Structure 1
Amino acid sequence: MSASLNTALLVLAPGVPLLLGVLWSIPRLRRQVGRLTPWAALPALLLALVGRPGEAVELSWLLFGGFLGLTPTSQVFLFFTALIWFAAGIHGRRHLEQGSHCERFCVFWLFTLAGNIALIVALDVALFYTGFALMTFAAYGLIVHDGSERARRAGRVYLVLAVLGEALILAGLILAARATAAPLLPMLGELPQAIAGAPERNVIIACLWLGFGVKAGLPLLHFSLPLAYGAAPVSVAAALAGAMIKAGLLGWLVTLPLGADVFPGWGEAIIVTGLFAAFFGALVGVHQKQPRIVLAYSSISQMGLISVAIGAWMTFPALGPLLATAITIYAFHHALAKAALFLGTDVVRHRTRGFATWLWIGLSIPALALAGLMPSGLIAKGSLKDALAAAEAAPEAWQQLPLLLALAAVGTTALMARHLWLLRLEAAQDDAPSGAWYGWALVTAASLFGILLLPLWGMHGHWPFAAKDLVATVWPVAMGGLLAVIAWRLLRPWPVPPADVLELLTPLPCLAVRAGRAVGVTGPAIRQLLRHLQAMVLAGYQRADHRLGRFTEHLWRRDASLLFALLLAVLALAALHLS
C-alpha cells in the first residue's frame, strides 16, 4: 500500500466518525448522518487490514501537535475493534435510523466510536488520553439511552467510576510525562522506560493500573460492568464488552513499564488480583438470572486471566515477546466471541422453526470458543500457557499457574452453559430485525475464522496438537459441563444481585437503623439524629457560601486589577526563570 493511502486512512479512521458527529449539529443533515453512522467504522477496518505499522502521521496543526500510527499490536486491536463496531452498527440500525431518541443515540455512538479508534492509533500521550476520555464519557449517553430507571442507575454508577478512573489515569500520565525527555508531547513508546526510572514509579504504576482497571473490570472496580451491560441496548453492550473493555487492556500494554525492569512485587499483586477476578467472576456469574449479566461476569473472569499475563510480564521481562503475542491473541479471541454472544441475545428471540437448529449452532460457536474448544480458544489458551510455562528459575508457586488457569476454564465453561440455558428461556419471543441477523452472523463468522488472519500481522500462536495438550484442553470443559448439569439438577442459584459489592454499600443507612435497634435505640431516634446532623451540615455550608460570596464580590469589584497584575508578574518571573 502506498504511503499516501496509509496516511489518509490513519486520518480517516478516527476522523470520519468524529466529522459525522460534528455534522450532526446541523439539523438538516441529521437524517443523512444517521444513514451513514453504521458504516463509520469502515475506514478503521480497512486500515487494520492494509495499513503499514511504523509509518506515522504528524498533526502539527493541533495545540501541542500529535502523531498517529500503527504498531503490530495496535493493528490487531484496531481490526477487532472496528469489526465489532461495524457489526454492532448494522445490528443496531433501528436505534440509529428510527425509534425514540435516535438522533441522540447517533451522536453519542459516533463520538464513542471516534474516541475508541483514536486511542488505538494514537502514538503520543495527549491524543491517547483525549481519545480514551472521549470514548469513556460519550458512552454514558449510550448506556442511559432508553431513559429507564434501570438505565439511569447504571449510568450513574458508570459515570462515578469513569470519573475516578480518568482522574487516576490523568495523574499517572502527568507524572509519567514529567519523567520523559519531552514532557509537553511525550510519546507512548517513551513511557515504560521513563516510568521505570522515575522516583514516583510505584505511584505511577498504581494510578495507571487502577485507572485503566476501571475499564478492564478490575475487582472492586468492576460493578459498573454488569449494570451497564444489562441496561444498555444490545448493540451498545456488544461494543462495551467486545471493544471498549479492551481499551483498558491496551492502556496497560502501552503505559505500564512492561519489559523495562523487574517489578516482582507489582507482578505478584497483579497475578493474585487477576486470579481472584477469574474465579470471582465465574462464581458470581453462574448465579445470575439474565444472559447479559452472565456475560458481564464472564468478561470480568476473562480479563482476570489476561491480568495474570500482565503480572507475569512485570515479574519476568524476558518473557515479553511471548506474553505480548499471547495477550494480543487472547484479546482478539475474547473480543470477537463476546461480541457475538451479546448480539446473539437479540437474534435468539426471533420466532423461527426452520432455522432453529442452525441458530443454536451459531449461538454455541462463540460459547465453545470461550470454553476453549474452537480454534481461536485453542490458540489463545495454548499461547498463554506456553508463555507462562517458559519462565526459568520461577518459584514453586509459579508452577501452579497452568493448573489455576485450567480451573478457571472450568468456571468459564459453567458460565457458558448457564448463558445458553438462560437464552433457551428467552427464545422465540418476538421477531429480530434483519440487521440484527447480519451483524450477528458477521461477528460470529469472525470469531470462528478470524484467527486465520493473525499471521497477516505477524502473530503466530501455539496450536495444541500434542496429546497432552488436547487432554489439558478437554478436561476443564468436561468438568465444567458436568458441574453445570449437577447444579441444574440439584442446586438453586443464589440471590446475588448484579452489582454485588455495590449492593453491600448502598443499604448502610438501613443497617445503621438495625444496629441501633439491636442495642436499644429505636429507629425514629436514629432518623431524628441523622436529620439533625444533616441540618447542621447544611447550615454550615450556607454560612460558608454566604461568606465566600461576599468575599468574591468584594474582590472582583475592588481588587480584580491587582489580582491580575500579581498573576501576570508571577507568570513573567516563571518565564524568565525557565529561559
Structure 2
Amino acid sequence: MGATALTLVPLAPLLLALVLPAGKGAWRLTPLAVLPALGAVLLLPDATRAHLPEVLLGVRLALDPVSRGFLLAAALLWGAAAVYARGDLRDDPHVVRFHVFFLLAMAGNLGLVVAADAVVFYTFFALMSLASVGLVVHRCTAEAWRATWVYLGMAVLGELCLFTGLILQVHAVGDPSLERLVLEAPPDGLAVSLIVVGLGAKAGMVPLHLWLPLAHPAAPTPASAVLSGAMIKAGLLGWLYLIPRGEAMAGVGTWLLVAGLAGAWFGVLAGVLQQRPKTLLAYSSISQMGLMTAGMGLAVQAPELGPALTAALVFYVVHHGLAKGALFLGTGIARQVSLPWLLLGLGVPSLALAGLPLTSGAMAKSLLKTPLEATQGDYSAVLLLMALAAAGTAVLMLRFLALVLPGAGRDGGGSWAMRLPWLLLALAAPLLPWCWDPAAAWALLSPGKLWTAAWPLLLGVGVALAGFLLFRRVRVRVHLPEGDLWWLLERAGRAGVQAVARQPVLWRSPGGTLYARLGAWLVRGWGTLQDRALEAERHMRRWEVLGGGFTAWILILFGVLWWGLGG
C-alpha cells in the first residue's frame, strides 16, 4: 500500500496534465494533484520504497527524512500556487495551457524528490526544467521570450552537465542507486564538477544564475512562486544525494562554500539596486540559496558535521520555500488588499528571511550555525559572514517592502482563492518552528539566542535607514539592469560589432578600402544574422522542433559517452 501511495506522488499530476485538455473546466482540479504528496509526507513511514521494474530501466522511488522535508515544502507550495492560479488566471484565454505545463512541472519536481536512482532523478529533473519553459513564456511578450531563451539555454546546459556526470558516476559504481552513488562513487573530479555545475545552474549559483532575474518577472505570479520556492531547491537536493563525502572532496566543499557566500552577498547587492519587486525577490533567492550552498559546502568539507548540517538544510528549504512563496503571491495581489493585511502577509515572511527572532528564519539560521559553533574547528569567519549576510537580507527585504507597500489597495477586489493561500503561507513563518521541533523553538527564547538572531536584523535596519537618508539627500538613483551579466554580454556583443564596423581610423590606413569593405560586410552580416536569428526563433517556438532537437542532442551525447567509456 505504501509503495502504491508513493508512486502516486508524481503520477497524479502527470495523469491530470494528460487529461486536462479533454475536459472543460478540468483545470480547476489542479490543486488536487498535490494530495498524494501531502498524504505521503503525513502518513508514510521512512524507508518506504516503490519499484516498477517494467518502466524505463526500472523505476525506484523512496521516502527518507531528507526527501520528506523537501516533499513537504514542494507539496505545500505547489498546492498554494495552484489555488492562487485558479483566481489569478481564471480569465486568461490560455488558462488550460498554463495548467498543463504547471502540472507537468509539478510532476517533475515531486518525482525527483522521491527518486531513488539516477535514471529516475534525471528524467524527472528534465521534465521539470523543460515544462517550466511553458510557464516562463506564458504571456508571450518580448520580455517573456527573452527570459525563456536564457532560461532554456541555462537549463539545457545544466541538464547536459548533470547527465554526463551521472553517466560517469553510474559507470564507476555499477549501480544507479542514489544511495550507493553518494557512498561509493570515487572522487572523480570531472564527474563531481559536472554535477556541481549542472545542479548549480538550477540552484542559482553565481555565475550560473543568469536566468533567475529574467524569468521571475516575466512569468505569471504562481509560476514565479514555485520557480523560486520549490524548483530551485532541486539543485540542493541533487548535491545532497550525489556528491560523495570524505577528505578527497574537501576541495569541492571549499568551492561550494566560497561560491555560496559569494552568491549570498551578490544577491543582496544586486537586489537592492532593482526597481521591480519580483526581480528583487529573484536576487533574494540567489542570496538565500547562496547560504544553503555554503552549508552544503561545509557538509562536504567536514563530513563529521554532515548529519547536523543536512538536517539544518532540510529545515532551511522548508522555511525558505514557504516564506518566498508568500512573498511572490503577496506581490501579485498587493494592489488588491489593504495596507494592514499587506503588512501582515508580506512583513512577517520578509523579516523571517532576515532571521527575525521567534520565526522560522531565526530557527533555520540557528540550526545552520549550531554545528559550526560546537565543533573544534575555527569557523568564526564563516559565522560572521553568515550573520552579516542576514543583515544584508534585512536591507533587501526593507527595500522590497518600500517598493510594494505604497501600492496597497489601489485596485481593490481580489478573490479569496488568491488571498487564502498567500496568508496561509505567510503564517508558516511564526508557526513552523513549533510544528517542526518544539524543543528547538523553546531554545530560541533564551537571551543568547534572541540576541544572536536580533543583532543582524537591527544592523540591517540601521544600514537601510542610513542609506535611505543619504540617497534622499543627494538624490542619486542607482539601478542595475535585470539579468546583470547577461545584459553585459548582450551590450558587449553589440558594442563590439559596431566598434569594429564604424572605426574611422581603419578607413584612413593604407588598406582602407579593404577595411571599409570588411566594415560594411560586418554591418550587413550583423543585420542578416539578426534576421536569421528571428526566423530561427519562430521555427524553434514549435514544440516538435524543440523536442526533436533536444532528443537528437541527447542521442549524440549517448553515442559519445558510449564510445568514450569503451563501448
- Residues 379-418 of structure 1 correspond to what in structure 2 (within 5 A)? 379-394=363-378, 398-418=379-399
Question: Structure 1: which 5+ residue stretches go unaligned?
Answer: 539-573
CA distance in 2: counterparts of 1:172 and 1:163, whole angstroms: 14
Instruction: Report the equivalent of 2:541.
Output: none
Say whether residues 1:328 and 2:332 are aligned partners: no
CA 1:61–1:470 in structure 2 vs 1: closer, same or farther (change >3 Å)? Answer: same
Note if contact 1:238-1:343 (Cα within 8 Å) is conserved in structure 2. yes
TM alignment of 1:203-352, pairs within 5 A:
203-257=190-244, 259-350=245-336, 352=338
User: Could you say which residue in structure 1 is the equivalent of 2:490?
Assistant: 506
1:518–1:533: structure 2 CA closer, same or farther, 3 Å change rule? closer
Structure-2 change in CA distance of 1:297 and 1:534 (3 Å):
closer
Answer yes or no: is 1:192 the counterpart of 2:182. Answer: yes
When normalised by structure 1's length, the TM-score is 0.85
Question: Is it true that 1:378 corresponds to 2:362 in the alignment?
Answer: yes
Q: Which of 64, 72, 77 matches 1:84?
A: 77
Aligned counterparts of 1:344 and 1:384: Cα–Cα separation in 2: 28
Report the equivalent of 1:520. 505
* Superposed displacement of residue 438, structure 1: 1.2
After superposition, give the CA deviation of every residue in 1:133-182 in whole Å (9 maximum; x if it has no partner): 10000011011111111111111110000000000000011101111233
The residue number in structure 1 matching 2:116 is 123
Q: Give the drift of 1:450.
A: 2.5
Q: Which runs of 5+ in 2 are unaligned?
A: 508-514, 531-562
Secondary structure of the structure 2 residue equivalent to 1:490: helix
Cα RMSD (Å): 2.5
Quickly say closer, same or farther: Cα 1:155–1:74, change in 2 above 3 A: same
Describe the SS at the equivalent of 2:494: helix
Q: Deviations over 1:20-71 (max 9, x none)?
A: 111135x3x2x25312112211221121122211020111221311111201
Please state whether the residue corresponding to 2:443 is helix, strand or coil: coil
Aligned: 1:477 with 2:457:
yes
Distance in 1, matches of 2:44 and 2:89, equals 29
Q: Does residue 163 in structure 1 map to residue 156 in structure 2?
A: yes
**Partners of 1:208 and 1:173 in 2: CA distance:** 7
Q: Specify the code of the residue in structure 2 equivalent to 1:155.
A: T
> What are the superposed Cα offsets for residues 469-521 of structure 1, whole Å, 9 maximum, x if unpaired?
32222111111111111222222442211100011101234322336756724
Q: Which residue identity is paired with 1:21? A: A
Q: Check the 8 A contact 1:37/1:96 in 2, yes or no.
A: no
Corresponding residue pairs, total? 519
Distance 2:410 2:144 in 1: 22
CA distance in 2, matches of 1:110, 1:52: 26
In 1: Cα distance, 2:470 partner to 2:173 partner:
59
- Judge conservation of contact 1:34–1:96 (CA < 8 Å) in 2: no
1:24 corresponds to 2:11: no
Q: Within 2, Cα distance between the matches of 1:319 and 1:305?
A: 16
| Structure with max Cα Rg | 1
Is the CA contact 1:371–1:409 (under 8 Å) kept in the aligned structure 2? yes
State how far apart, in whole Å, the 1-side matches of 2:458 and 2:516 are.
Answer: 56
Deviates more, 1:165-174 or 1:327-336: 327-336
TM-score normalised over the length of structure 2: 0.86
Question: Separation in 2 of the partners of 1:446 and 1:475?
Answer: 23
State the 1:465 CA deviation.
4.0
User: Cα distance 1:133–1:485, how it changes in 2: closer, same or farther (>3 A)?
Assistant: same
- Which residue of the other structure, out of 481, 497, 503, is the alignment partner of 1:497? 481
Q: Deviations over 1:270-326 (max 9, x none)?
A: 111111111111001001001111111111011111111111112111111111111
- Quickly say closer, same or farther: Cα 1:465–1:94, change in 2 above 3 A: closer
Is the 8 Å Cα contact of residues 329 and 461 (structure 1) preserved in structure 2?
Answer: no
- Contact 2:274–2:480 (CA<8 Å) still a contact in 1? yes
Distance 2:442 2:393 in 1: 21
Q: For 1:487, give the aligned amino acid.
A: G
- Amino acid paired to 2:216: Y
- Kept in 1, the 8 Å contact 2:342–2:408? The answer is no
* Counterpart residue number, 1:561: none
CA contact (8 A) 1:105 1:142 kept: yes
- Please say if residues 379 and 462 of structure 1, whose CA atoms lie closer than 8 Å, have aligned partners that are also in contact: no
The farther-off stretch of 8-17 and 297-306 is 8-17
CA contact (8 A) 2:221 2:332 kept: yes
What is the distance in 1 between the residues matched to 2:25 and 2:528?
56
- 1-structure distance, mates of 2:322, 2:527: 53
**2:277/2:331 contact within 8 Å kept:** yes
CA deviation map 1:322-351 (0-9, x unaligned): 111111111111111111111110222115
Question: Shift in Å at residue 369 of structure 1?
Answer: 0.6
Q: Deviations over 1:390-434 (max 9, x none)?
A: 33244xxx4311111111011100010000000023322323232
Kept after mapping to 1: 8 A contact 2:434/2:441: no
The match for 2:350 among 364, 367, 381 is 367
In the alignment, is the contact (CA less than 8 A) between 2:326 and 2:345 conserved in 1?
no
Matches within 5 A, 1:530-545: 530=522
Q: 1:319 touches 1:390 (CA, 8 Å); kept in 2? A: no
Evaluate the alpha carbon distance shift between residue 77 and residue 460 of structure 1 in structure 2; reply closer, same or farther with a 3 A threshold.
farther
Asked if structure 1 preserves the Cα contact closer than 8 Å seen for 2:73 and 2:317, the reply is no
Distance 1:485 1:453, change over 3 A: same
- Give the Cα–Cα distance (whole angstroms) in 1 for the partners of residues 282 and 463 of structure 2: 20
Query: 230-239 vs 461-470, which deviates more?
Result: 461-470
- Aligned-residue offset at 1:95: 5.5
